[in-house]
Every structure is written in C-alpha cells, then in structure tokens.
Structure 1
C-alpha cells in the first residue's frame, strides 16, 4: 500500500504543524529578494558600463590634448632655437638677423611662450652661470599640458568609479545565485514528507538567505 502522509500532531508546536505554510511564505520572500537583488545587479552593471565608456572617451580626449600640446611644444622648441640663432647674429651686427628675430618673435611666439621667455631671461640675469630653459616654466607647461592632465585625471576617476560599480554588480550577481540555491532547497522542502529533512532543508536555505540578505543590504541602493 502507498504510504500516506501522517497527520500533524495537534499538540505539537505551531511551527511544526504548519511547515508547508512556512515553506511557502519563505519561498515568496526569497523569490522577491532574489528579483530585487538581480534587478540591482543589472542596474549596477549598466552604470558600470556607462562610466567605463565615459572613461574611454575622456582618455581619448586626453591623448588628443597631449598630442596637441606636445606638437606645440616641439614647434616652440624650434622657434626658441631659431630665435637664439638670430639673436647671436644680431649681436654680431647683422641687421637682417635682427629684423628676422623681430618678425619671428611677433609671428611664432605665443603669449604663454613670451611669458616663459621673459621669466627665463630674468632668471639668466639673476643667475648668469646657468642657462634657464623657457620651456621648463611651470605656467608655460600648464598652458600646454594642463588640459591633458585634467582630462586624464577625469578618465582615471571615471574608470575607478566604473570598476567599483562593476564590483558591486558582481557581488549582487553572486548573492542572486546564492538566493537561487535557497529557492532550490525550499522547493525540495515543500515536497518531501519527512519532517526532519524538511527542517534541515529549511534551516540550511534560511541560513544562506539570511547571510546573503544582510550582504545585499550592505550594497547601496541605486536607480536608473
């Protein structure tokens, strides 16, 4: 004869007499929490992708600004060398070189380079034993490469933020998987007929769910 389920002892504690109801309630709670965790994981993943994409865009812009600044740096270096050659010739009495010096200075020297040249000349006068390179001037280098440095820092910050968001999304994906294990255990508990086995499965699944719920709550809520 097939085995018939035993009738719950009416004198037993409430939780022993309503194990099926407890299992169903836990299944509903865990299913809801699993859906929430999975949803949050997806949002974090999307935010992470957005930040990394912005970081790559900023890095591309930073590289462009660096190349632009470096190109100007090379041109200014050539201009300084040519000005030095004209200055030497002009000091030797070459009027043409003096005129060429003035023309090149007017055409080829920017405001930033002009300030750097003036600062270097002042340093040369105060310390004639050393030659001071105008292109070593901090304000000049900031004018050329300041935009690159700022955009590069922005790219690094965006990448770090994207990685952090991605890490949180990965954690939530792990917690979703563990909650799915809880659902599996509770599903088995709902169909088995042995009370001891039922409570072992419920206790195991409940423990996993309790830990993952706490860990999930530690991840800040985010939105679209």
Structure 2
C-alpha cells in the first residue's frame, strides 16, 4: 500500500526536474532566441545587400534605356526632317519644269543616298507601296512598325529589364523588412526572458516566459516564410 510519504518521495522524471528549475529553462530559451536572432540579422543583412545590388542594376538599366531612347528619338527627328525635304523634292520632280525637275531629281537621289538609312529606306518603300494601293489614306514611313522597332526596340527591351530589376529589388526589400521585423520581435522576446531571469515571483516568471516564448514562436513563423539566402 502506498502512503502519502511514499508518493511524495517518488523520483521525479528528467523533464519534471528540468521545468522545475526555472532559471535553467530561461537560460536555454535565452540561448535559443539569441542564436535565432543572430541568424535572422545575418539573413536581413544579406537581403539588404541584394536589394542594393538590384537597385544599382535597375538604375544602370534605366539610364541605358534612356540613352537608347534619346538615340532613337534623335534619329527619328532627323528622319522626319529628311522625309519632309524628300517630299518637297518629289513635288518639284512631279510638278516642276524640266530644269527644276532634273535638279530636284539629282538632289533627291543625293539626299536619299546620304541621309536615308537602310531601315528608313525600306520603310519609305513600304509606305509608298501602301499609298499606291490606297491613295485615299496616307501612310507615313515614320509610322512603320519595323522601322520604329529598329529605332526603339533596344530601348523597349532595356526598359523592361529595368522594370524587372526594380520589381526584384522591391521583393528583396520586402523580405529584408520582414526579417527586420522578426529581429525586433526576437529582441522583445530576449528582453522578456532577461527580465524573467531576475524577478523573484514564480508567477511573474512563468508569465514572462510564456509571453516571450509566444513572441519567439510567432517571430520564428515569420522567419520561415522568408527563403534562406547565401549570396
């Protein structure tokens, strides 16, 4: 028959002894939270570096895209001026007298040879064919899709690259922000556990341990939502 004295003297399990030693539990939790905080801080620093790199690449791509656009636009303006002059010369060829027409034809050929690029010349030919097929509707070679693609295609590709890099930088920055928030929460958990280590009231200790552990678990959940990076 088991007496109260026998029951009270029954050996405690290792788990019971562990949790009966509140200070030891706090030390273990402090160690775990400290290591986790250091790891999250390391990951946040890596993401900050990746964000800065992506932003730098985005800015470089944006500057290059603007340069390509200005280059294409400059050629477009020059071609527009050339087209206006060619149109004027063509009118002189069609409606001028013999001498004027001959001089205009020579000037037209010389200007076309010097100032008209291969892709613009092809656009002029396609526009002329379209105008001949439908005289009631004027087709400008400046609106030719292939011609504009030659001038501004590289700009469009580089601009899309810049947008993609900016989006990547925003995503990396958001991940870094989440990790920073996680670091703050873990720091709060460390503070609560540190206070729990010095207070004398068991009830207060248990409350602080519980709150600190809950905050740490929540912060750990946030940490797990962010992919680990090593770059």
TM-score (normalizing by structure 2): 0.90
2:136 is paired with a residue of what secondary structure?
Answer: coil
Mapped partners of 1:65, 1:175: distance in 2: 43
Alignment of 1:183-194 (within 5 A): 183-194=190-201
1:157 is paired with a residue of what secondary structure?
Answer: helix
Residues 70-91 of structure 1: CA distance to partner in whole angstroms, max 9, x if unpaired? 1000000011111111111112
**Shift, 1:191, TM fit:** 1.6
> Which of 163, 180, 189 matches 2:170?
163
Aligned to 2:135: 128
**Shift, 1:196, TM fit:** 1.1
Mapped partners of 1:32, 1:157: distance in 2: 35
Mapped partners of 1:59, 1:79: distance in 2: 30
**Shift, 1:14, TM fit:** 3.0
**Shift, 1:11, TM fit:** 6.2
> Which of 194, 198, 204 matches 2:205?
198
> Which of 49, 53, 57 matches 1:50?
53
Alignment of 1:52-71 (within 5 A): 52-71=55-74
1:51 is paired with a residue of what secondary structure?
Answer: helix
RMSD: 1.3
Q: What is the total number of aligned residue pairs between the two structures? A: 215
Mapped partners of 1:114, 1:11: distance in 2: 96
Residues 133-174 of structure 1: CA distance to partner in whole angstroms, max 9, x if unpaired? 001000000000111111111111111110111111111111
Question: Are the aligned partners of 2:61 and 2:162 in contact in 1 as well (CA < 8 Å)?
Answer: yes
1:130 is paired with a residue of what secondary structure?
Answer: coil
Mapped partners of 1:215, 1:49: distance in 2: 23
> Which of 26, 29, 44 matches 1:26?
29
Aligned to 2:109: 102
Aligned to 1:215: 222
2:138 is paired with a residue of what secondary structure?
Answer: coil
Are residues 1:153 and 2:190 paired?
Answer: no
2:158 is paired with a residue of what secondary structure?
Answer: helix
Mapped partners of 2:122, 2:228: distance in 1: 52
Mapped partners of 2:104, 2:64: distance in 1: 41
1:222 is paired with a residue of what secondary structure?
Answer: coil
Are residues 1:117 and 2:124 paired?
Answer: yes
> Which of 11, 17, 20 matches 2:20?
17
> Which of 38, 41, 51 matches 1:38?
41
